[in-house]
Homo-oligomer: A and B are copies of this chain.
Amino acid sequence: MSDINKVVLAYSGGLDTSVIVRWLQDTYKCEVVTFTADIGQGEEVEPARAKAKALGVQEIYIDDLREEYVRDFVYPMFRANAIYEGEYLLGTSIARPLIAKRLIEIANETGADAISHGATGKGNDQVRFELGAYSLKPGIKVIAPWREWDLTSRETLMTYCAERNIPVDFAGKTKKSPYSMDANLLHISYEGGKLEDPFWEPEEDMWRWSVSPEAAPDTPTYIEIGYQKGDPVTLNGEALSPATMLETLNKMGGDNGIGRLDLVENRYVGMKSRGCYETPGGTIMLRAHRAIESITLDREAAHLKDELMPRYAKLIYNGYWFSPERRMLQAAIDESQDFVNGIVRLKLYKGNVVVVGRKSDNSLFDEAIATFEDDAGAYNQKDAEGFIKLNALRLRIAANKGRSQLS
């Protein structure tokens, strides 16, 4: 079993992917290249180097991808106001194509003929990694150990570690969470364990990035976010890079109990799954972006975006970032953002993100026309009669022919 010579592994430095390093070496008799990325998961990535070395890895990649991640993936997605199934901000989904892209780049640089990852055969992440990889390098081989091996219980895994001298403290010093967790700059997620009962409310100490609304300060925090072409560029007047913007908003949001979400979602592989998420900065950015669009975007452009959004969100959820159809939708969305500039003022308070003001040099809000006061002829109310009459014409003809719209 092996025509694989070298494989690039998405390596976290944790126990599971460390086992995978050894398992790949054993099973495929191949060289393993590790790739560890800082995408804002909040853990040091540098320790992965020593661990990889200890496993005999010779080519070790450790990259800080935070700015690229927010600039080229998170921001374009937020231009679309993307939400999956009415609630989920796609925090895991949007990080995967970047990992896939970097795996392929490293495969190209190192002459590897395969990539590998630690995602299970039941989840969405395997799909996102592999669709991304195949789209960028169609001949790449993909090894997904969780779909192949028989180390499917904690015991078999521990036995394997013991037999192969894999230090179990790779599992990390922090108390093991009962949940399957994943984090990047956009969010942290929790799955599994007691969450598998959708009627069970998670205990307070599951949440790691935010305080509860109850524990948040009793006084609100006001902030102002400045937008340019649909992207947040300033916070309270100060220009911030994409990653710094999101980090700062995560902090502010988390401090104010903002961004927790508890839902049951539909996975691409066909089953429903309970997930809990903390997305403090993203929750703020979504409200703020809609607010700046509300005064700067044309009505029909906004409605077209709203109708395309569920489809766009589904593409990202399902792993089709690197696809022609996502690019088409992105082209339409980006075309709409040229004038999405201005300032949004927000109040953060105990879980609430309240838009309290928006202004823009590109505002289409026209007080002269909107006013209930005298508008000096800016709008001719008599026009409304013709507007209604012609919009009603087809309905009147139908009614005249005896059709009833009462059920």
Closest chain B CB from A289 CB (angstroms) = 10
Query: Of all chain B residues, which has the CB nearest A87?
Result: B290
Question: A398 within 8 Å of B by Cβ?
Answer: yes
Question: A173 within 8 Å of B by Cβ?
Answer: no
Question: A174 within 8 Å of B by Cβ?
Answer: no
A271-B381 Cα distance, complex, nearest whole Å: 13
Query: Of all chain B residues, which has the CB nearest A127?
Result: B388
Question: A191 within 8 Å of B by Cβ?
Answer: yes
Question: A228 within 8 Å of B by Cβ?
Answer: no
A303-B325 Cα distance, complex, nearest whole Å: 9
Query: Of all chain B residues, which has the CB nearest A307?
Result: B310
* CB contact under 8 A between A295 and B349, given known A336-B324, A391-B131: no
Inter-subunit contact A290/B386 (CB<8 Å):
no
Inter-subunit contact B85/A135 (CB<8 Å):
no
Inter-subunit contact A384/B138 (CB<8 Å):
no
Residues of B within 8 Å of A192, CB to CB, are 371-372
A335-B386 Cα distance, complex, nearest whole Å: 30
Question: A205 within 8 Å of B by Cβ?
Answer: no
Segment touching B, from A29-37, A53-61, A230-238, A356-364: A356-364
Inter-subunit contact A397/B364 (CB<8 Å):
yes
Question: A314 within 8 Å of B by Cβ?
Answer: yes
A351-B386 Cα distance, complex, nearest whole Å: 43
Query: Of all chain B residues, which has the CB nearest A352?
Result: B351
Question: A247 within 8 Å of B by Cβ?
Answer: no
Closest chain B CB from A403 CB (angstroms) = 7
Residues of B within 8 Å of A126, CB to CB, are 384, 388
Inter-subunit contact A369/B332 (CB<8 Å):
no
Q: A101-B406, A198-B357, A383-B385 are in contact. List 8 more A-B contacts (CB 8 A).
A: A135-B395, A147-B385, A196-B367, A199-B343, A200-B357, A264-B294, A300-B394, A304-B329
30 residue pairs bridging A and B, Cβ less than 8 Å apart: A86-B290, A86-B306, A121-B379, A130-B388, A131-B388, A131-B395, A136-B405, A138-B395, A138-B400, A147-B384, A192-B371, A196-B371, A198-B295, A198-B357, A198-B365, A264-B294, A270-B392, A270-B393, A272-B294, A298-B394, A298-B398, A300-B323, A301-B324, A307-B310, A323-B405, A324-B335, A328-B333, A363-B401, A382-B386, A385-B386
Question: Considering the complex of A and B, which 6 residue pairs feature the smallest CB-CB distances, nearest first?
Answer: A386-B386, A121-B381, A270-B393, A383-B386, A266-B299, A138-B396
